[in-house]
Amino acid sequence: MNFEFGEDQNLIRDQARGFLNDNCPPEVVRRVLDGDELYAEDLWKKIAEMGWTATVIPEEYGGLGLSYLELVVIAEELGRACAPVPFSSSVYLATEALLAAGSQQQKETWLPKLAAGECIGTLAYAEGAGQTCAAGLAVSVTDGKISGSKVVVADAQIADMMIVVASSAGGDGASMYLVAMDQSGVSCEAVKTIDPSRNHANVTFDGATAQLLGNEGEGWAGLERILDRAAVMIAWEQLGGSDACLEMAINYAMGRYAFGRSIASYQAIKHKLADMYVKNTLARSNAYYGAWALNSDADELPLAAATARVGSTQAFYYASKENIQTHGGMGFTWEFDCQFYYRRSKVLAVVIGSEGQWQEKLIQATDQTNAA
């Protein structure tokens, strides 16, 4: 049994943590949260210099050709730091879409730039409130020109390219398109969200040039595959955030005194923090499973991804809200950092579909896998 990370990955984790401690302290998150920046561009450049954006991209496209085990270790540390950068959009979604469905030419055009972090990518599929499905898609492409609107697209205003899921007359009802953002016929309008440390915008296409990505009418199945893969990586970000919350809550509780003793000595607090530890531990073990399935391209990836996704989403929500609770009134102030994780936990909870959708995918996957 060797169900654990190797020395190389542990080394990358240590390096990543050290790097983010130096380059993404809470002041950087706060700067983006409070200010007008759409993301921490200086941090993004340094992340690209570290090669993180190139991790799993094959060497022929300018990447490092490393495995997903290295990438999830980095994801965990980015989550722990609550980094205000478009890593999830560009690396887990846009890059994955190109790797999975891109033509040789599309890969050659975009992957080297994505690897170098010169270019930021994202993916858009939602069109309004509630669950989006292939049948109701309004965004459509005619003769290579795309029209319609996508809502609340992460990092849309800073993206150079966007993978757009649009309607298709045939197949599964959807096709994926690649749209360069830097052209007329694409406009973004910022939206105010519960997490201003990340950029989100509504995007309107009005006859912009769009290239088919993958096959016509296979867009929804393609999207599902990309989301399964992204779910594992996002689960690791969520897990990093969950552990950060647990550590913050422990540190605060130890130092906070009430009725003559540390509040960390009260069972009401101890049991809350023990619960947090239990949820984080189960989520971590499921995230290991997800990482293994992603890395080995296992048939059970949809099940492993949904399991990791549901576990980490629940753990992060619990840890982020109970971290505020443990801090008492101060946890509710703008001055304290608890808010970073409470905001981010909800953004990550819905970015690729809510907990309920993944619970549903999980049960469907157990019908396919002979799950005990």
Partner 1 sequence: MDFEDTAEESAFREEARTWLEANAPTEKELSGMDYMARGKFWQKRKADAGWACIRWPQEFGGRGANPIQQVILAQEEAKVESPETGMFGIGQGMAAPTMMSYASSEDQQRYLPRLASGEDVWCQLFSEPAGGSDLAALRTKAERDGDDWIVNGQKIWTSGAHYSDYGILVVRTDPNVPKHKGLSYFFLDMKSPGIEIKPIKQISGESNFNEVYFTDVRIPDSQRLGEVGQGWKVALTTLMNERASIGAGGGGTRFSTVKRLAQSVNINGKPAIEDNHVRAKLANWYVQESGLKFTSYRTLSALSRGDIPGPENSIGKLVGAVKSQDMASFAIDLLEQQGIVRDSVQDEAFAALFQDTYMSIPGLRIAGGTDEIMANIIAERVLGLPQEPRMDKGIPFTEVPTGSG
Quote the least distance from Cβ 193 to partner 1, whole Å.
26
Q: Is residue 366 near partner 1 by the rule CB under 8 A?
A: yes
Q: With CB under 8 A as the contact rule, which of the stretches 55-63, 101-109, 330-338, 355-363 interacts with partner 1?
A: 355-363
Burial class of residue 370 in the structure, from the number of CB atoms within 10 Å of its CB (0-12 exposed, 13-18 middle, 19+ buried): exposed
Which is it for strands 121-124 and 161-167: parallel, antiparallel or unpaired? parallel
Beta-sheet pairing, 121-124 with 174-180 = unpaired
369 close to 300: Cβ distance less than 8 angstroms: yes
The window from 30-38, 117-125, 213-221, 267-275 that contacts partner 1 (CB under 8 A) reads 267-275
| Of the candidate residues 310, 349, 351, 352, the single one contacting partner 1 (CB under 8 A) | 310
Tokens coding 33: 């949260």
Burial class (CB in 10 A: 0-12, 13-18, 19+), 365: buried
Question: Among the candidate windows 158-166, 283-291, 322-330, 346-354, which touches partner 1 by CB under 8 A?
Answer: 283-291
- Token pair, residue 326, equals 């443990």
Smallest gap, in angstroms, from Cβ of residue 308 to partner 1? 9
Residue tagged 């993958």 (tokens): 214
**Which stretch, 1-9, 36-44, 49-57, 232-240, contacts partner 1 (CB under 8 A)?**
1-9
311 touching partner 1, by CB under 8 A: yes
Residue pair 125/132 in contact by the 8 Å Cβ criterion = yes
Q: Kindly tell me which of 206 and 247 has the beta carbon lying closer to partner 1.
A: 247
Chain length of the chain: 372
Task: Report the C-alpha gap between 57 and 68 in whole angstroms.
Answer: 10
Is 369 an interacting residue with respect to partner 1 (CB under 8 A)? no
Note the residues at the interface with partner 1 (CB under 8 A).
1-6, 69, 246, 250, 253-254, 261-262, 264-267, 269-271, 273-275, 277-278, 281-283, 285-286, 288-289, 291-292, 295-296, 306-307, 310-311, 314, 356, 358-360, 362-363, 366, 371-372
